[in-house]
């Protein structure tokens, strides 16, 4: 999936930051999430999908996510959009900081180096608790697309797992959010206790 295709998803952008926030992330109604990523298939594709339900959660149903290339620079057309939007806060998911702070509001950096880390950060940043989470494999992009849509609809976090189940970090996130039910998009690894949704597309209809 190329960057232009990602920008057409039901999510957009915001900018902020004369200064970088050092405390809690923005909780204002207008908060945008930036995801920086290289060209080609990469873990940031999954980070982007985890950001969609997080953005809808913090914006009370209105998504605000945008992809930047790995340089971390904000292109002119995005800067113009942000100038007109004048959002309150911006969160950035990426392995290194943005090249420069946006021109409006406060920037909250969310450093991560894997899809697992990105999803866990989104979950613990934008939710205090959640009765459910949506899980999917971190190598199944087709299922992850559907899982992201379901998580956004339910206003719950999207988390990832590997062939051998949950990472210790993801298990801790599920405990800290006091999750009662794990919904799994696709085929869950053996031994993982979930409500399995092998045909998640049908659930979304």
Strand locations in the chain (E): 17-20, 31-37, 65-69, 89-94, 105-111, 132-137, 158-161, 181-185, 195-197
Beta-ladder partners of 197: 185
User: pTM of the entire structure?
Assistant: 0.84
Tens of each residue's pLDDT in the chain, 205 residues: 433 334 333 333 332 222 223 345 555 568 899 999 999 999 999 999 999 999 999 988 777 899 999 999 999 998 888 888 888 889 999 999 999 988 876 899 999 999 999 999 999 999 999 999 999 999 999 999 999 999 999 999 999 999 999 999 999 999 999 999 999 998 899 989 999 887 777 777 6
């Amino acid at each position: 999936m190329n960057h232009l295709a990602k920008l057409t998803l039901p999510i957009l952008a915001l900018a902020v930051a004369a200064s970088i926030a050092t405390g809690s992330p923005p909780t204002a109604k207008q908060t945008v999430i930036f995801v920086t990523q290289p060209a080609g298939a990469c873990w940031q594709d999954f980070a982007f999908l985890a950001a969609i339900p997080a953005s809808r959660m913090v914006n009370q149903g209105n998504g605000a996510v945008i992809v930047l290339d790995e340089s971390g620079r904000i292109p002119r057309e995005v800067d113009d959009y942000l100038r007109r939007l004048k959002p309150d806060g911006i969160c950035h998911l990426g392995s290194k900081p943005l090249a420069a702070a946006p021109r409006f509001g406060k920037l909250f950096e969310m450093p991560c180096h894997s899809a697992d880390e990105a999803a866990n950060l989104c979950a613990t940043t934008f939710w205090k608790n959640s009765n459910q989470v949506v899980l999917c494999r971190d190598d199944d992009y087709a299922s992850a697309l559907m899982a992201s849509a379901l998580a956004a609809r339910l206003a719950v976090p999207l988390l990832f797992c590997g062939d051998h189940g949950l990472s210790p970090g993801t298990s801790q996130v599920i405990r800290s959010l006091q999750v009662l039910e794990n919904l799994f998009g696709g085929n869950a690894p053996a031994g993982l206790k979930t409500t399995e949704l092998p045909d998640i597309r049908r659930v979304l209809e």
